Amino acid sequence: MPPTFESEGRSTRGRRALGVMAAAVVVILAAGFVYLYPTLTSKPAPKAGPITAIDHFVSSAAQRQVFSGTVLIAQNGKILLDKGYGWADQGKRLPNQPSTRFRIASVTKQFTAMAILLLQEQGQLHVEDPICLYISGCPATWKTITIQQLLTHTSGIPDYVTTFPLQQPTSPAQLIAAFESKSLDFAPGARWSYSNSGYVILGSIIEQLSGESYSEFLQQEIFHVLHLNNTGYDQNFPPLPEHATGYKQPWVKADYVDMSVPYAAGALYSTVDDLFRWDQALFNRKFASGASVQQMFTPQVTACDGQGTICAASDCDAQRINCYSYGYGWFLGQFPVGGPYVRVNWHPGGIQGFVSVNLYYPDQELTLIVLSNLETFNWTLITQDVQTAFIQQLI
């Protein structure tokens, strides 16, 4: 999230990483549907050649100090590369390891979305409910906004991170108070516009209905169940060597962010191994109900012009560029690989000192997870390299 923390829909780096996607290095188009689970006829894992090439590419990037972090690549559930590059802390010369924890920023949103779906499974809410059922003193302009619209960035509520002080300790109620009196950017449901504010409200709803803090609910209902022992709500001063230090640029530590500010929109930390375990649980139906996972990976809203104009998912077949869908906490689209396009489920994140992406190519059953503690890192560079080395031979 940014002006500094991370607003993928508004900041320059965020737009490149996801948002409207028009400025992305990788041109994105949306899929008319999403493939959730492994194919019936599994494809053999590629030979070691592509992995060696990718490892050399990333190692070279680390040596040139344009990347620092960890990378995991897997196919058919088999891990092919799981390695750290560069320094978790440059001053202390602590290397990044697969077990190193990183702030994952907006990749947090898929956990928040699943928490809402778990509450729906428990019968405590429905995603079509008006949010004012769960907000005391709800503004009149929010009366028609639904939980679904918060999940899909179609509520029209402006993004709080463009104006909220990032160093100031806060509470969910104070965060909501910072934007509840502001005019909507558009009528609810009329457009798509990335807004962290919706996920802050979702975190507050989770706390109200569960009677637990957002952190406690995720720990009990998701992290503990899936044995995600290196995932949690981040601390303001996380300890070394378990957790990487974030850098604005090589040798320059990132600006401070109080972790109460990103909250349910971007405050979690994790490792590549834990995120892979999370992905496998989702794609192989080992967590939550099939209906919940189906909702998460179904295109709930599609924008086809790079400006947030809503259209039908089928329209993307004819107009690929700048066309993408959003499920619950996941983008659903297609990346170009030479001539053909391949379907992808993904979500990136960015916060001071850290960049992340959790990405899955469903037709190739290929997972790519990248966590970086260098704020200037552009994740699409590794994505392009993986596509060139791997996917062209698979298709």
- The beta strand positions in the chain, using DSSP E, are 69-75, 78-85, 87-89, 94-95, 102-103, 232-233, 247-249, 252-253, 268-270, 301-303, 310-311, 324-326, 331-336, 341-351, 354-361, 366-372
**Joined tokens for residue 81:** 């590369």
Reference 390, options 54, 15, 42, 94; nearest CA is: 54
Cβ(271)–Cβ(372) under 8 Å? no
| Residues 156-185, mean pLDDT to the nearest whole number | 96
Q: What is the mean pLDDT of the chain?
A: 87
Please compute the mean of the pLDDT values over residues 290-312 and round it to a whole number: 92
Which residue in the block uniquely carries the two structure tokens 């957790």?
Answer: 243
Q: Is the peptide bond before 262 cis (omega within 30 degrees of 0)?
A: no
Q: Are 203 and 263 in contact (CB under 8 A)?
A: yes
Confidence of residue 14 (pLDDT cuts 50, 70, 90): very low
Would you state the structure tokens that stand for residue 352, as one six-digit string?
Answer: 């001071």
Say whether pLDDT at 182 is over 60. yes
Classify residue 165 by its DSSP letter: -
Q: Is the pLDDT of residue 29 over 50?
A: no
Q: Which range in 14-23, 86-95, 302-311 is most confidently predicted, on average pLDDT?
A: 86-95
Sheet strand arrangement including 366-372 = 78-85, 69-75, 366-372, 354-361, 341-351, 331-336, 324-326, 301-303, 310-311
* Among candidate residues 373, 157, 354, 174, the one with its CA nearest the CA of residue 261: 174
pLDDT of residue 341: 83
**pLDDT digit string, tens, across residues 266-287:** 999 999 999 999 999 999 988 9
CA angle 357, 16, 77 (to 5 degrees): 20
Q: Average pLDDT for residues 141-165, to the nearest whole number?
A: 97
Per-residue pLDDT, 80: 95
From 193, 213, 211, select the one nearest 203 (Cα to Cα): 213
Are 324 and 309 in contact by the 8 Å Cβ rule? The answer is no
Q: What is the pLDDT of residue 23?
A: 28
Give the C-alpha separation, 61 to 381, whole Å.
10
**For position 48, what pLDDT does the model report?**
52
Residue 48 makes CB contacts below 8 A (sequence gap 6+) with none
Kindly state the DSSP code that residue 370 receives in the 8-state scheme: E
User: Would you state the structure tokens that stand for residue 392, as one six-digit string?
Assistant: 């062209």
CB-count exposure of residue 47 (10 Å: 0-12, 13-18, 19+): exposed
CA torsion angle 16 73 71 7 (round to 10): 30
What is the DSSP annotation of 171-204?
-HHHHHHHHTTSPPSSSTTSB----HHHHHHHHH
Tokens of 309: 């104009």
Range list of H helices, 6-107:
12-17, 48-63
- The CA-atom distances, in angstroms, between 16 and each of 130, 322, 363, 381 are 32, 12, 25, 12
Residue partners of 66: CB distance under 8 A and separation at least 6: 374, 376, 377
> pLDDT value at position 278?
98
d(CA 19, CA 217): 28
b/e map 215-225, b = 16+ CB within 10 Å: bebbbebbbee
Q: In angstroms, rounded to a whole number, what is the distance separating the alpha carbons of residues 100 and 117? A: 29
pTM (global) more than 0.85: yes
**In the predicted structure, residue 37 carries a pLDDT above the cut 50:** no
As a whole number of angstroms, the distance between CA 327 and CA 331 comes to: 6
Mean pLDDT, residues 93-108 taken together: 98
- CB within 8 Å of 278: residues ≥ 6 apart: 111, 226, 228, 231, 270
Q: Which of 233, 230, 245, 224 is nearest to 172 (CA)?
A: 233
